[in-house]
Structure 1
Amino acid sequence: MQIQPLPEHFVATTTPLNLEQRRRLRLGSLMAKAEREGARLQFWARTAALLAVEFFFAVFGKWDPASGFMFSAVFVFFLIGLVHYRLVKKGFSPVWVGAVFGTLDMILLTLLLVGPNPFAEIIMPPAMSLREAGFQYLLIFVCLGALTLSPRLAAWLGIAAAICWTAAVVWVVTRPGTIVALIKAENMRFDEHVRLYFNPNFVDLIDQLTHVVVILIITGIIATVVSRSRKMADDYTTAERARSNLARHFSPNVVDELASNDEPFGPVRRQDVAVLFADIVGFTAYSEDHPAEQVFELLRTFHRRMEQVVFDHGGTVDNYIGDCIMATFGIPASATDDATRALGCARAMAAAVEEWNGERRARGSAPVDVRIGCQYGPVVLGAIGSERNLSFAVVGDTCNVASRLQTMCRELDAEVCVGADLIEAVKRAGDEDALSGMVEHGPIHVRGRDHEVEVWLAPKSALENSGVLIAS
């Protein structure tokens, strides 16, 4: 059996897209939706403009067959717009369809403005039609193109209007009896100028050329505005996505600053930061004995409360690891009070858990036991992963020690365990008042580390032994 190769277009569509291509695809879909909405607005704005013209003719015009022809012509424009709108509403809205209907508008409007009215009692010379400023109605249709939010369609409508008016001028100029001249004030006496201007067969090519140039200038402005609006929408969605991603990890007061930088974190580097881990004791047993909905509700509440405490102390939520939250202080820029804020955050977390437990007891739920470990020291930080899943990571011995200290809280009967390096950093910052209530425990062996770690701790607050969320 011979296997036929896949069509070229199918191969192209099945090629994996990178993040930027996916973003562009989503943005293109949003813009297409906006263009369809713009077509709806264009239809209603166009209808309102046609009604205004009808009202003007009805009030100030003469009721005769010629006026009836004009009313009929305006109704034809309404029907053209309605057909286009119905196609767009049904989802058939490629750019070329808008270009076809727009071109049809320009052609019919030009014929209506310059061509003779078959029901008029007096047939005016064609040159008079050019001199009655009818091209201004073309400008209305050109401006309506801006509502489509399509730069190409807006540009084409203006070009089509310029072409149609140029063709009308050429047609009038070639009519028998038409007088053509290039009026320049310095080359003609005033009386000659006036006499020529009031001749009904006279066409001033400079004046008509000015009309075409004005149409093209306005078209350029409209297309530029529409294009700029689309770019601003692209930039806005990019910035908001960056802010949204950053807001999951950083306090609101630093999100705007980070989002405004092309490389907010800079290159991979080593610097001193404070690292904090907070974990729910006995969560594994709890998740086995309770419905999944209750488990996730507990996690969400825990993360939300702890995250807010971290942000209140100017910290960064580095990661959520199941029932554990990892936070850092000193990212993206280090400060002299990083260790002090980390210690304050640890104690505030313990206080927030106590408040939460009070609410849980009032509802008849078991209290939650949260233990916190913290250390200060050098880490390596930078962006890791691929363009599909890019994240900011903090790694190093300081992180490992902080995690181990958190697990040892239960063994030491402490709410908070911190390394001596963090205590020394607090002292160097001159914030010794922040150490009030901290007790020096001494060196302990930390799993996975050859050297012992000097540990300070905040003793465990008194909790009711019954009903506490601790497995054993």
Structure 2
Amino acid sequence: MTSSLSAHWDTAREIRSILLRFVAFAILLANLLLGGSDGAEGTHFLVVVSYLVISIASVATARFLPGLSWLKTVFVALDALLVALILYAHILGGPVTKNHNLTTTSLVVAFILLNHVGLKQDRRLVLVFSGIVLVSWVAMLAITAARHHTADAMSLLAAFFNQDLGLTVSFGFTAFAIYLLARDHDRTRKEALKADKRRLNLSRFFSPLVVADLQEGSSNLDLERRNAAIMFVDLRDFTSFAETAPARELALVLAEYRHLVSGTIFQHGGTVDKFIGDGVMAVFGQPTPTEDDADRALACALDLVDALSDWKNHSMLNGYPALNAGIGLHYGTVVGGVLDSGCHSEFTVIGDAVNVAQRLETLAKSLDAPLVVSSAVMIRLQNPVPSALWIPQSSVPLPGRRLPIDVWYLRREAGLNQAEDNSGYETGGMQTALQRSPFQSSPPASDLRTA
């Protein structure tokens, strides 16, 4: 998955490079018109025209062939050869007896094009450009020294180590500094892209506020006991459907289902702890518990009842299987944080409250209910119990637990809806939030005992 941050940087850098190319061209043209080429006007004119052609080709490539990244290296190498051509005109182009000191114009061209390459912020391109220029420059100075020296070695060294060599060293030092800046930028860019990738991965499971905590390395990531609301969502008869469904249809149904459930959970500030096939485990109050965790969790569960009912009917109308869903919701104490298991670390919650929530989801199947909520959730509510056709049931035994638990659930009413009449499929109507009764009072205290 390509990061949007990376694409934005690449686009901005390419636009900046195009603009700087034509700024560099304007400076080269101004230097040519203002003179100072000392007999190398023809060479400078050729350089200006060639640079314009290379710039136009570079723009066309970026526009029509953006995938050919190697062409960027070719254009930079051509720029370096233009600099070498100017150096040749001033160092080796004249007679042997002529003074070969470089002019300001020739130096301006070399440093302007070096800066242009540096602003691409690609250390590889800086190495290509500066390497070609430096090798050409030093080679020309060596040839010039060999042409001017007398018989002894000292005269050869004296001819080589002159003012021009100092300018070469200055160019090399500038190129090295630009290379270091490009390298630091490259490292910073990679770290930012890694952070952006981590954020994108985390955002698949956590709400934006939780993602911020995770990226900042908050102490909330440490394993500790917290109160939280735990929700399990599971599709009914999905295993049977998966055994015979084509792979593409299976992937489509599962993707739609997960997107719907996780999106609703995020809207209510919850966290997707994990996906387990067609099951989803969500947590409200992890990593930071709040007073309204139970309220948000229950509101999320009721919205999911509606959303999954609509999704079921929509799937049936489009020829896909109409799968019922069951939701279990419980509130209690969990141990939450980053659980280190050697090669793999997991941000999760564990504890009895998790087991109870999972068993409530299983209980929803035996009760033929879309939602089963423990009395512990109802007790924890800060606001009145949301209106719905709640059915209380006391002392419900749960597998693996010694003490029974009081629950509240919604009935999945049997019947045919309008979609059934149109399609001929029997789907069974689901009790949804749109059909909730005006029941407003809180459950009786005697019925709300925690396990």
Q: The TM-score by the shorter chain falls in which range? A: 0.5 to 0.7
2:395 alignment partner AA: P
Q: What is the match of residue 310 of structure 1?
A: 265
SS at match of 2:366: coil
Q: 1:228 aligns with which of 176, 184, 188?
A: 184
Gap change, CA 1:323 and 1:463, over 3 Å in 2: farther
Contact 1:282 1:469 in 2 (8 A): no
The offset of 1:331, in angstroms, is 1.3
Q: Do the aligned partners of 2:270 and 2:282 also contact (CA within 8 Å) in 1?
A: yes
Q: How does 1:18-417 map to 2 (within 5 A)?
A: 53=28, 57=32, 67-68=41-42, 109-115=86-92, 117-118=94-95, 126=99, 129-130=101-102, 132-146=104-118, 149-151=121-123, 154=126, 164=137, 215=171, 218-219=174-175, 222-255=178-211, 257-258=212-213, 260-262=215-217, 265-363=220-318, 367-384=322-339, 389-417=344-372
Q: Paired residue for 1:432?
A: 384
| Secondary structure of residue in 1 paired with 2:410 | strand
**1:56–1:331: structure 2 CA closer, same or farther, 3 Å change rule?**
same
- 2-structure distance, mates of 1:250, 1:90: 38
Does the 8 A contact of 1:277 with 1:402 survive in 2? yes
Give yes or no for contact 2:232–2:279 (8 Å, CA) kept in 1: yes
Q: Which amino acid aligns with 1:316?
A: T
Q: Is the 8 A contact 1:371 1:409 kept in 2?
A: yes
How far apart, CA to CA, are the structure 1 residues paired with 2:102 and 2:39? Answer: 22
Could you tell me which amino acid in structure 1 is paired with residue 187 of structure 2?
K
Question: Hey, what does 1:468 align to over in structure 2?
Answer: 427
Aligned 8 A contact 1:166 1:212 in 2: no
Who is 2:449 aligned against? Answer: none
Check conservation: 1:239, 1:259, Cα contact below 8 A: no
| Residues 70 and 327 of structure 1: CA distance in aligned 2, closer, same or farther (over 3 Å) | closer
Distance 2:129 2:359 in 1: 69
Question: In structure 2, what is the Cα distance between the partners aligned to 1:77 and 1:303?
Answer: 55
Tell me the residue number matched to 1:190: none
Q: Quick one: structure 1 residues 280 and 415, their matched pair in 2 at CA, closer, same or farther if it must change by over 3 Å?
A: same
| Cα distance in 2, alignment partners of residues 237 and 223 from structure 1 | 21
Residue identity over aligned pairs, in percent, reads: 25
Which amino acid in structure 2 is aligned with residue 457 of structure 1?
A: Y
- Among 437, 442, 449, the alignment partner of 2:401 is 449
Contact map agreement 2:214 2:221 (CA 8 A) in 1: no
2:277 alignment partner AA: G
CA displacement, residues 171-198 of structure 1 (integer Å, 9 cap, x when unaligned):
89x989xxxxxxxxxxxxxxxxxxxxxx
Moved more, 442-451 or 411-420: 411-420
Q: Deviations over 1:361-397 (max 9, x none)?
A: 5446554321111111111223346676443222211
- Indicate how the Cα distance of structure 1 residues 463 and 277 shifts in structure 2: closer, same or farther if over 3 A, else same: farther
How far the C-alpha of 1:141 sits from its partner, in A, is: 3.4
Q: CA-atom RMSD, angstroms? A: 5.1
What is the aligned residue count? 390
Given that 1:271 and 1:378 are in contact with CA atoms closer than 8 Å, whether structure 2 keeps it comes out as yes
Contact 1:106 1:160 in 2 (8 A): no
Q: Distance in 2 between matches of 1:46 and 1:222?
A: 18
For 2:109 and 2:364, locate their aligned partners in 1 and report how far apart those are by CA, in whole Å.
80
Query: Residues 288 and 68 of structure 1: is their aligned pair in 2 closer, same or farther, counting only changes over 3 Å?
Result: closer
TM value normalised by structure 2:
0.67
The answer on whether the counterparts of 2:51 and 2:79 sit within 8 Å (CA) in structure 1 is no
Gaps of 5+ in 2: 62-66, 150-162, 418-424, 430-451
Structure 1 stretches lacking a partner, 5+ long = 1-25, 177-206
Tell me the residue number matched to 1:9: none
Q: Is the 8 A contact 2:287 2:336 kept in 1?
A: no
CA contact (8 A) 2:123 2:179 kept: yes
| Partners of 1:216 and 1:141 in 2: CA distance | 13
Is the CA contact 2:229–2:283 (under 8 Å) kept in the aligned structure 1?
yes
Partner SS for 1:348: helix
Once the two structures are TM-superposed, the CA of residue 350 in structure 1 deviates from its matched residue by 0.6
Cα shift readout 1:330-371 (whole Å, capped 9, x = no counterpart): 112111111111111111111112222342454465543211
Q: For each residue in 1:82-122, what CA deviation from the matched residue of structure 2 results, as whole angstroms up to 9, or x when unmatched? A: 9xx9xxx99999x9x9999998776654342345634xxxx
- Cα deviations by residue, 1:100-149 (Å, 9 ceiling, x for unpaired): 9998776654342345634xxxx99638x446453212212322432664
What is the identity, as a one-letter code, of the residue corresponding to 1:378?
T
What amino acid sits opposite 1:117 in the alignment? G
Return closer, same or farther for 1:386/1:109 CA change in 2, 3 Å cut-off: farther
Matched to 2:405, the amino acid is V
How far apart are the structure 2 equivalents of 1:332 and 1:405? Answer: 23
> Does structure 2 conserve the Cα–Cα contact (< 8 Å) formed by 1:374 and 1:418?
yes
Q: CA deviation at 1:303?
A: 1.4
Q: Does the 8 Å contact 2:76/2:117 carry over to 1?
A: no
Is the partner of 2:370 in helix, strand or coil? strand
Q: Once structures 1 and 2 are overlaid, which stretch shifts more, 109-118 or 377-386?
A: 109-118
Contact 1:110/1:165, CA 8 A, preserved across alignment = no
Letter in 1 for 2:195: A
Could you say what secondary structure the match of 2:187 adopts? helix
Which deviates the most, 461-470 or 130-139? 461-470
Map Cα deviations across residues 41-99 of structure 1 (whole Å, 9 max, x no partner): 79x98899679858975x7779x9965566678899999999xx9xxx99999x9x999
Deviation at 1:162, TM superposition (A): 8.1
